[in-house]
Structure 1
């Protein structure tokens, strides 16, 4: 595997970036043509896996996320298998692993191309990503601009730092993880669901609104200081 990676990294940056684009496109096509299982059938599959179920849930969920499967489905499935709280925990772990994989793939295949080729507004945007802290990552994650996996690939192509990206990705996923895991649990065990597990989802909406407002105000201050971008 390592020699193959080394050979890949010796390829021109344009070739690697093209491979990244093809990878994302292939995942998108598969997402459209491959049917998704019914969440109500997942507990039976978990019973057959036995003690390997948690590991399979985390690794399988992570691979599905980097294959552009929506995080909503992964979290619903985790809730259906494990219940609202444990399911949310496994879904967040899968999100952390998927964020690391997607970022790494984007960094290896796309960063050099973006760093060398981007100019003008795109270069300033790349600089903004490079200066981001955890709060900035949370803000981007909460904006409805793209799916979880696609954002991970995209971040890897920028100058963003890995640790703030991973921390922000997980923190931004916490509110909806508990909410959707509770809904997934209701599919299989409606009488056992503790609905206060949904409360973090409401807090997430409030936090998202606050973060978006802060981003908007910061942009207004920047425009006031430097004038309109030409």
Structure 2
């Protein structure tokens, strides 16, 4: 049955893409206006179906602003896009998630676990960064272990800024064509909103990043014997060089780390601390561990430079 449903979906997508030239703003306006009072419901349904069938969402979003104005248009656009995204997610999870889980190799499994551990932060990032195609992403996320509720809520919240900006752009376009009095104001607002949306990915990157741990906190953890794994990701020469290393540290270079993650599978829910000369390489190592599903991997702020600044003991051998 799954193969039959999958084949039916592929055929429906192929048919929709073959006829997408007829799916334009004029046709959409005719369908919605022809529905009368049920126009918003028809629009939401069309948006959801278009999302599942890989039809361009930009046309719909701009049309929503043209047909319903900036506020109601945003609501209907966001509702239709979220509904379509939810349907695509559930279709992918029903048809392919189990198959992917059985067939995935160690690297793909680590990636899946990393995505699941990031949860809403990962969804927020990919929703706000325009590099990721919206329609394909809905199906791809359905193959991961992210919970449906987390996916649904994060999708709605983090698509809101973009939906509002592009809906207002559609509204401004209508004003431009009609020569309305508020043309300059609406265009200025639309451009400002698009600029603000472009800055949001940087904010999400900061939200995704876990706070660094101070060297004093690391020292307290090590002295308390809390079972912390301290990985020093510098080169071997640096590990035994002038700055030395902390006695409890294990040297594992940044380049070696990806190939050695399997060794630390049992520590995914336990504290891992990462240190280097400052904190740049250890920040890269922390991202690798987060993608692999490690839930408590933290960077030591200032690294060995900060440790030595306190005059604490090191090993040079």
TM-score by length of 2: 0.58
**Which residue of structure 1 lines up, in the alignment, with residue 199 of structure 2?**
206
**Which residue of structure 2 lines up, in the alignment, with residue 74 of structure 1?**
60
- Asked if residue 136 in structure 1 is aligned to residue 122 in structure 2, the reply is yes
Separation in 1, partners of 2:161, 2:147: 23
Query: Alignment partner for residue 176 of structure 1, among 157, 162, 165?
Result: 162
1:191-212 CA deviation, whole Å, 9 max, x = no partner?
Answer: 2563435544332211112324
1:116-146 CA deviation, whole Å, 9 max, x = no partner?
Answer: 1101211101111222332221112233444
Separation in 1, partners of 2:10, 2:127: 18
Tell me the CA shift for residue 20 of structure 1: 4.3
* Structure-to-structure mapping, 1:181-192, within 5 angstroms: 181-190=167-176, 191=180
Separation in 2, partners of 1:33, 1:206: 36
Tell me the CA shift for residue 23 of structure 1: 3.5
Residues 39 and 184 of structure 1 are in contact (CA less than 8 Å); yes or no, is this contact kept in structure 2?
Answer: no
Query: Alignment partner for residue 16 of structure 2, among 9, 30, 55?
Result: 30
Q: Which has the higher contact order (CA 8 A, sep 6+)?
A: 1
Separation in 1, partners of 2:126, 2:45: 25
Residues 1:168 and 1:55: Cα distance change in structure 2 (over 3 Å):
same
TM-score by length of 1: 0.78
The SS at the match of 1:35 is helix
Residues 83 and 185 of structure 1 are in contact (CA less than 8 Å); yes or no, is this contact kept in structure 2?
Answer: yes
**Which residue of structure 1 lines up, in the alignment, with residue 258 of structure 2?**
229
Query: Which one has a bigger Cα radius of gyration?
Result: 2
Q: Once structures 1 and 2 are overlaid, which stretch shifts more, 34-43 or 134-143?
A: 34-43
* Structure-to-structure mapping, 1:87-106, within 5 angstroms: 87-106=73-92
Separation in 1, partners of 2:10, 2:140: 10
Residues 68 and 147 of structure 1 are in contact (CA less than 8 Å); yes or no, is this contact kept in structure 2?
Answer: no
The SS at the match of 1:188 is helix
* Structure-to-structure mapping, 1:93-172, within 5 angstroms: 93-172=79-158
RMSD (Å), alpha carbons = 3.1
Greater strand content: 2
Separation in 2, partners of 1:64, 1:96: 12
Residues 116 and 145 of structure 2 are in contact (CA less than 8 Å); yes or no, is this contact kept in structure 1?
Answer: yes
Tell me the CA shift for residue 29 of structure 1: 6.5
